[in-house]
Amino acid sequence: MAFKQTSYRDTWADINLDHIKYNVREVKKQFKQQMNVMAVVKADGYGHGAVETARAALDAGAGFLGVALLEEALELREAGIEEPVLVLGRINPEDAKTAQKYHIRLTVFQKEWMEEAQKFLSSEFSPLPIHIKVDTGMGRIGMKEDQEILSFLAALEEHSLMEAEGLFTHFATADEKETSYWQSQYRRFLQIAGLLNSSLGPLAYVHCGNSATALRFPDHCFNMVRFGISMYGLTPSEEITDEIPFSLKEAFSLHSRIVQVKKCAPGENISYGATYTTSGEEWIATVPIGYGDGWYRYHSSNGGEVLVNGEKVPIVGRICMDQMMIRLKEPVPVGTKVTLIGRQKDRHISVLDAARRLGTITYEIPCMISSRVPRRYIQKE
Ligand SMILES: *Cc1c(COP(=O)(O)O)cnc(C)c1O
């Protein structure tokens, strides 16, 4: 059936791939030595589109891709991407055979998992490359104690269908001004790296840096960084914005077009619950985006604004599932562009502004915008 095009509604997100490339190139310049960049494209490229983002990052010099789930890794393979991909989370041991078949690297942090997964691997394929995950203070996944690690390494020697390729850990507070906890995690990681080195010899990849670490502590990143949020041009947290060594370029913006403009008399009510009442004669416009698109209802009760003709105008009344209303200073034609996140003329509503409004972090904003909103890719380079 060919009658369904991807979108019939004028609501979309623009993804600027040139900005992603710029952010990757700039981060590479921060390191004294040659640094491998793993572009983290989990959760559909933080809502930007995993395949397109991955291609842009690889183009700009990333050499590795990171995802959270096996299905995310397979999506990249299905799109024809052949570069190394690491699944950062745990998968079911029986699915290790699928990873091996498609040359997908896996994160391993349990001896029992390794023993179980081994049963599903095949000598027909090359050995499964694994990255050993240690917990130095994040408290999420990873091995903690020396003894646990040593017994894991002893067992690994007997599993010829797995090959240790990497070692990594993850920081809990790399995006906070106060660095003592980060330092204690780093020191513990150094100890573990020493332990592994003396028992396995040097590994091809040792990595601990997320975006915040890569940007703030470039001399503490071993030979690979896992570059996520700042590849998309977003700051890991507001409090370290002044420590970011170059100006990040935001890749995500969100737009729609007005479908109706009406003149309201004083005292007319707008939207569900009639929570907004016009105080004078007002121009009210309807915009076809709502919480069904991931444009969270709370934007409206919390001072939400959008851009129309380069001016900030308020969201009025409750956001509905598919539509919302805004108040204009003067009438504009149906079809006029509305920017919910992004730039119009010299005004900008950033992802961070939207995050502040909702009391959350930058990471969550593009992830929230659902797949009902088509992503359009901008690439001039
Ligand atoms: C998501 C993730 C990253 C990327 O972190 P950013 O803060 O987005 O750069 C790195 N490592 C692991 C293990 C992750 O899960």
DSSP character string of 68-113:
SSHHHHHHHHHTT--S-EEE-S---GGGHHHHHHTTEEEEE--HHH
Q: Are residues 196 and 56 in the same domain?
A: yes
Within-domain flag for 201? yes
H-helix or E-strand spanning residue 301: helix 298-301
pLDDT confidence of residue 2: 60
- Whether 168 and 56 map to the same domain: the answer is yes
Coil vs helix vs strand at 63: coil
Residue 1 has pLDDT above 60, yes or no: no
Q: In which residue are the tokens 């710029």 written? A: 22
Token pair of 341 as six digits: 């996140």
Cα–Cα nearest to 38, from 81, 3, 75, 85 = 85
The pLDDT score that the predictor gives to residue 126 is 95
Q: Is 229 in the pocket of ligand 1 (CB under 6 A)?
A: yes
pLDDT at 6: 75
339 pLDDT above the threshold of 80: yes
Q: Where are the beta strands (DSSP E) in 211-355?
A: 224-227, 252-257, 260-264, 269-270, 276-277, 282-287, 305-308, 311-316, 324-328, 337-344, 347-349
State pLDDT tens for residues 205-214. Answer: 999 999 999 9
The active-site residue out of 177, 272, 312, 329 is 272
- Specify the pLDDT at position 332: 98
Ligand 1 contact, 221 CB (< 6 A) = no
Look up the pTM and report it. 0.97
CA 147 to chain centroid, in Å, comes to 34
Q: Which atom of ligand 1 is nearest to the CA of 236?
A: 7
Looking at residue 4, what is its pLDDT? Answer: 66
pLDDT of residue 299: 82
CATH number at residue 218: 3.20.20.10
Q: Which of 243, 265, 282 is the last residue of a domain?
A: 243
| pLDDT level of residue 105 (50, 70, 90 thresholds) | very high
Catalytic residue, candidates 22, 42, 46, 232: 42
Q: Which residue's CA is the closest to the ligand 1 atom numbered 14?
A: 88
Residue 152 lies in a domain: yes
DSSP-derived pairing of the beta strands 224-227 and 36-40? parallel
- Residue-wise pLDDT tens digits, 53-92: 999 999 999 999 999 999 999 999 999 999 999 999 999 9
Is residue 138 one of the residues assigned to a domain?
A: yes
Question: CATH number, domain at 263?
Answer: 2.40.37.10
Q: Compute, in angstroms, the gap from residue 33 CA to the centroid of ligand 1.
A: 22
Residues 268 and 218 in one domain: no
* Cα gap 325→261, rounded to integer Å: 10
Measured in residues, the chain has a length of: 381
**Comparing C-alpha atoms, which of 107, 157, 100 is closest to residue 132?**
107
Distance 111 CA to ligand 1 centre (A): 24
CA angle 310–21–69, rounded 5-degree value? 105
369-379 average pLDDT score: 96
Residue 379 C-alpha to ligand 1 middle, in angstroms? 25
pLDDT (tens digit, 9 = 90+) per residue, 15-35? Answer: 999 999 999 999 999 999 999
Residue 6 in any domain: the answer is no
Question: Domain check: are 175 and 234 in the same one?
Answer: yes
Active site residue 133: no
Query: What local confidence, expressed as pLDDT, does residue 7 receive?
Result: 82
Please give the residue range of the domain that contains residue 138: 17-243
Domain count, the chain: 2
Residue owning the nearest CA to atom 6 of ligand 1: 228
45 lines ligand 1 (CB under 6 A): no
